[in-house]
Amino acid sequence: MGSTITEKILAAHCGKKFVEAGEFIEPKVDIALSNDVTAPLAIKEFRKAGVKKVFDKNKIALVMDHFTPNKDILSAEHVKFVREFAKEQKIKHYYEGGNVGVEHALLPEKGIVVPGDVVIGADSHTCTYGALGAFSTGVGSTDVAAAMATGKVWFKVPQSIKFVLKGKLNKWVSGKDIILYIIGLIGVDGALYRSMEFTGETCKKLTMADRFTIANMAIEAGGKNGIFTPDEITEKYVSKRAQRKYKFYTSDKDAVYHKTLEIDCGKILPQIAMPFLPSNTKAAKDVKRTYIDQVVIGSCTNGRIEDLRVAAAIIKKGKKVNPNVRTLIIPATPEVYSQALAEGLMKTFMDAGAVISAPTCGPCLGGHMGILAAGEKCVSTTNRNFVGRMGHTKSEVILSSPAVAAASAIKGYIATPDEI
């Protein structure tokens, strides 16, 4: 009996030849991640346990990204608390201020996470790194505290669901549309505590940005992790960034899966997820005219340079965003910001009347930089649209790709790029 890519990575980190679904394990961790919201609790638990030193100062990442630049006194105190801990422990990967980016875009970009890793993070979208062929999953702050002390984490090996993606993508369809379509198909608990393994002919043509987006939202279907088999596209991305040696794993042909689902991507049109679940999906063209108050293009899901290029191309065609729509552009990292500047994308956004923010999670979690009032509606490239997610409990968030978000910013209502 063969093993899945997830099982192989976990077995290697346990010093075993193989592990099987349902088995409780304690693998070694390559990177333990936390941010300005979750790190303070992890640090307090770490100290409460009486531990003096972290297991490895090079294998912990602390990214102050959620409320950056500090939005209030409490967020400033949180960052100060974490900064002092990072200095005390000589943490190599500490990011704040002009160096900070949205954590799940920043770590792959800097080569801190690499294929074959086991990565845990006190943030549910840590599953993003599965795009590289790593096992990565979100955990609680206390789990991160334990990992900072011991270098290990404890959990159950998940069963795997294989998603075979086939067919040629339609115009304007991206990784965001694919994952929204899948979540709409299986539901927000359709992959509960299971590994979502993405494979098939279509996967081989997906950009790294698309893969990051798809893996990022595995948690929105309840997945323990999302993962792709690394290939030439992965190698091209990783080889110039990796700070450590890495290893490509693949699933065996006779690996055992909970189930296999074939997805004809040729049938997917630009998608949206209406309030108040990521599974409440439909083709954007099928939505009755819905006027909006805000558009957000950014986040760990869609704040990469590829996303900004798509948005800029559509906005440039439309010339001006609708005056009734606050349009927020949030590059995920300083590198993305710099590249967008060099390519003239920022001028396009500014000339169109958009607001450009420093890299931050900001509005995605209702933190700052775009909070919604009662009754307001926002089309967003973020990953969650729960009640009150971006502000008032009587506001609404509609999830979309950068293409649909940009078109909607111009029209003033939910629109498709073909309408521009």
Q: For residue range 292-341, list pLDDT tens digits in order.
A: 999 999 999 999 999 999 999 999 988 899 999 999 999 999 999 999 99
The pLDDT value recorded for residue 420 is 86
Residues with Cβ within 8 Å of residue 77, at least 6 apart in sequence: none
Q: Rounded distance, CA 303 to CA 410, Å?
A: 19
Q: Are 176 and 303 in contact (CB under 8 A)?
A: no
> What's the angle, vertex CA 19, arms to CA 15 and CA 21, rounded to 5?
150
Taken in order of first residue, the domains within the chain and their CATH numbers are: 5-263 (3.30.499.10), 271-419 (3.30.499.10)
Q: Any idea how long the chain is?
A: 420
Stretch 357-361: mean pLDDT: 96
Q: For residue range 216-274, list pLDDT tens digits in order.
A: 999 999 999 999 999 999 999 999 999 999 999 999 999 999 999 999 999 999 999 99
Q: Rounded distance, CA 337 to CA 359, Å?
A: 8
Q: What percent of the chain has pLDDT above 90?
A: 98
How would residue 176 be classed by pLDDT, with cut points 50, 70 and 90? Answer: very high
CA atoms within 13 A on the CB side of 202: 23
Determine the 3-state secondary structure of 215 from DSSP.
helix
The pLDDT value recorded for residue 203 is 95
- Following CA atoms 180, 182, 185, 190 in sequence, which dihedral angle do they give, to the nearest 10 degrees? -110
Q: Are 372 and 294 in contact (CB under 8 A)?
A: yes
Q: Are 24 and 156 in contact (CB under 8 A)?
A: yes
Q: How far is CA 394 from CA 220, 247, 375, in A?
A: 22, 47, 6
